[in-house]
Each structure stands twice: as structure tokens, then as C-alpha cells.
Amino acid sequence: MSWRLRITHTTGYRYDAPVLASYNEARLTPISDVDQLTVEARVETVPPAQQQRYWDYWGTQVTAFDLHVPHGELEVTATCTVDTADARPAPVLAGWDGVLSPAVQDRFVEMLTHTGRTTPDEEMDALARQAVAGLAPHDAALAIMDLAHERVAYVPGSTGVATSAREAWALGSGVCQDIAHVAIALLGVVGPPASYVSGYLHPRADAAVGETFTGESHAWVEVWLGAWWAYDPTNRIPAGEPHVVVGRGRDDGDVPPLKGLYSGGGSQSLGVTVAVTRLL
């Protein structure tokens, strides 16, 4: 079974004084691959701006645009229609030799290297090793996901965009990006390559066709077990029909929805809304 979802993601900026020029990158267009097909996607801005599109190093589509007229507000709206697929079963390997072979380590070295946001502390290191003792790779990955879920409670507003896995672990709370960072940090201790996935999640598994819900950006994890296997540690479920992938990287810093620079202006206020509708 598959779903067709329509997502509208609107981000608004309001400045204290006119901005003279701004340079921006939006990573808001879902990818197309074997598990997902982006049927239609567009990014619109107010004021309007000429756009350029390219795929970055990690395979995420980037919409770049710049404005050279004074503006006190900026609104970016991304609209897409995406077909998603059932959760993929986890690959089954004979053992750790298949996950940690020299060829795998060479191929996925970037997904085996800790970043500033996914570096574990000593307690995380010890508990990760304890959690996977005697387990096969798939069971070990699930044990790590459970550990991240149990240790970091989902509490919106308890962390910020720059919070690291260590900080979220010590605090014991965070949001989906923090739980994903903690899971990746723990997985990095025991070895399976793991990537951070940025996208959207339909909030209702039993949603009726045509019903629109307030959604939000979401994050989960993919682990290499002979093939990439996607799991959502925040909700303790494999990623499937309700999940829409926008991009992948080492941590959330590789897949920011919006980033940019501006000249002039003053402090800014930011508003974000996401609407998700199941079409099929």
C-alpha cells in the first residue's frame, strides 16, 4: 500500500528594518527514489525572486534565490505532492562482518564519523556497548533506537536548533532532531553507518483521505544493514507511508530547511506552518 500526500510548508520572516539584500538556500523539495516519488513540487517567495536549483553533496535538492530590493518581510512557501511506500523490511545479514567490513567502512566513512552534534560522551559510549552486547546488527540497531527513545523524552521547546546529542542526553528531553542525533551518536559507537534524515511526518496513521492536519518538519534515522533501513526513534516505528524524505546527511546541519545571509535590517521574527493532507 502507498500514500499520496500534499504538503504545504510556509516560513515567514519579519525584520525590524528593511533588508537591503538577502541570499538564501531552501532545502524543502522531497527527493525521488525507490521508496518515494515526488509528483510535483514548487518553491515560491514573496517578494518574488529568480531561482536556481541544484543537488548538494548529500543528494538534497536546493532552491537558491537572492533578493536585491529592500524588503521588511520574506515569505517562502514550498508545496509538494509525494507518493510514499510501505516501510521496508530490515535487511538480514549473517553478522557484523557484513556491516563492518573494510569495504563498507571505506564506502560510508562519512556516516561513521562523529560530528560536533553527534559525538557521544563516556556514559553514552558505555551504555551503547552494553545495549548491543551479543546482538545481531538488526537487533542491535533496534536496541540503540530504543535507548535513544527512552533516554530523551519528546518535549517541544526544551532544546534549540544547535543542541548537540550530548546536551540532549544530559537534559533528558528534546525534539525529533535531538532523538535522531542521540541515536546516531550511539550507533557511531558500535559501528553501523547511520544517516540523519530530514523530512515530514503525517501526524495521523488513520487519516482520512482529503483531511488536512497541522504538521511539522520531522527527523529520523537510516542505518546500513546491507541496505539502508529507515527507523523513526521518536515514534518507535519503521519509517513508511506517513514519512516524506527531503534530505539526508550526517546531522541536521547538512539539511537545514532554510538558511541564508542578509544585509541591513535588524532582528527578525520567524513563523513556520506546515499543512499535511492525505490525497490517496
Q: Kindly list the domain boundaries of the chain, sorted by start residue.
A: 3-85+256-278, 96-254
Domain 96-254 in this protein, CATH class: alpha beta
pLDDT of residue 182: 98
The answer to which of 41-45, 49-53, 214-218, 229-233 has the lowest mean pLDDT is 214-218
Is residue 270 predicted with pLDDT exceeding 90? no
Is residue 205 predicted with pLDDT exceeding 90? no
pLDDT of residue 94: 65
Is residue 92 predicted with pLDDT exceeding 90? no
* Residue in this structure with the C-alpha cell 542578509, named with its chain if needed: 262
pLDDT of residue 269: 81
pLDDT of residue 12: 95
Phi, psi of 243 (to 5 degrees): -100, 135
Is residue 88 predicted with pLDDT exceeding 80? yes
Rounded Cα–Cα distance for residues 128 and 176 (Å): 19
From residue 183, give the alpha-carbon distance in Å to each of 58, 89, 149, 168, 240: 20, 19, 8, 11, 19
Answer whether 3-85+256-278 and 96-254 agree in fold: no
Q: Which residues pair with 248 in a beta bridge?
A: 197
Q: What is the mean pLDDT of the chain?
A: 95
The architecture of the domain spanning 3-85+256-278 is Sandwich (2.60)
pLDDT tens by residue, 14-62: 999 999 999 999 999 999 999 999 999 999 999 999 999 999 999 999 9
Q: Helix, strand, or coil here: 200? A: strand
Alpha helices in the chain (DSSP H): 96-99, 102-107, 122-132, 137-151, 165-171, 176-190
- 277 contacts 210 by C-beta, under 8 angstroms: yes
pLDDT of residue 60: 98
58: enclosing H helix or E strand: none
